[in-house]
Amino acid sequence: MTASPWKKPADRQKEREVKRDAVLRAAAQAFNENGFHKTSLDDVAERLNVTKPTIYYYVKNKDQILFECVRIGLEMLEDASAQIEGTSANGLTKLIALWRVYVQIVTEDFGRCLILVGEDPLPPGTRKELRALKGRIDKRFRSVIAEGIEDGSIRPCDPKIAAFAAAGALSWIARWYDPRGPLNPQELADQMIDLLVNGVGGAGQAKRKTNGKAGMKLAAANAPTSPKQSRKSANRAS
C-alpha cells in the first residue's frame, strides 16, 4: 500500500495549533516591545520569516491577536488559581502559591502582554469579556485572603484592598523585570513574597512565617502550562 504524502487530520490540526501559537507568541513579543498601535502584521510576519498572507491563515486581524494574547494570559492565571484555591492548604499558603504563579506569568510573553498592553485597545464588547474574566480572578484572590483571615493564617484586613495592593505590586514586575538581570522569576518571587508578607520593617521586627516551601510546592503543582488555544472560541474578536 502506497504511503500517503498527506498528513492525517489530527496531525494537521496539531501542526496548525503549533503554528498559530507561534503567531500569537511572536505578536505578543512585538506588542510588548513596540506597543500595539506601532506593531503591524508585517512586523509579526517578519519575526516568523513568513509572508503577511500566511498570518491571515491563523488569525483574522490584529484585534483578534491581541484578544487571544490577553485571554491566554488571563486563562493561565485563572486555571492555576482555581486549582490552588481548591486544595486543602491554609489561606496564606494558597496566597503565596498564587503570588508565585502570578510572578511566573507576568514575566512570560502572554502575561507581559496582559499587563503592558491589556484589553484597552480592543472594541467595547471584547473588552467586556476580558474584564469579566479579570473580575473572576480578582474574586478568587479575595476569597483566598478571606479564607486566610478566617483560619488565622492571615491577619485581619480588607480582602479587597489586600488583593489590589498585591496585584499592583506584582503586575508592575512586567514593566521593569529584565530576564538578563541577576534574578530568575523564582528568585524574584521569593523576594516579592517576603516583602508582601513581612513588609520592610527593621531587623527587630518579628517576621511571620511565609510558608515558602509549601507555597512553592503548591505553585509548582499548579503552574501554568502551554496556552490552551481551544479552551474558548478563538474567533470572538473582530
Instruction: Tell me the CB-side half-sphere exposure of residue 65, using CA atoms within 13 A.
Output: 29
Q: For the chain, 238 residues long, give each residue's pLDDT as a single digit of tens.
A: 666 666 677 767 888 899 999 999 999 999 999 999 999 999 999 999 999 999 999 999 999 999 999 999 999 999 999 999 889 999 999 999 999 999 999 999 999 999 999 999 999 999 999 999 999 999 999 999 999 999 999 999 999 999 999 999 999 999 999 989 999 999 999 999 999 999 887 655 555 555 555 566 666 666 666 555 445 444 444 4
* Cβ burial, residue 169 (10 Å; 0-12/13-18/19+): middle
**pLDDT score recorded for residue 84:** 94
pTM recorded for the entire structure: 0.82
What structural domains and CATH numbers belong to the chain?
11-59 (1.10.10.60), 71-221 (1.10.357.10)
**pLDDT score recorded for residue 200:** 84
The CA–CA distances, whole Å, from 153 to 193, 211, 226, 237 equal 15, 10, 32, 42
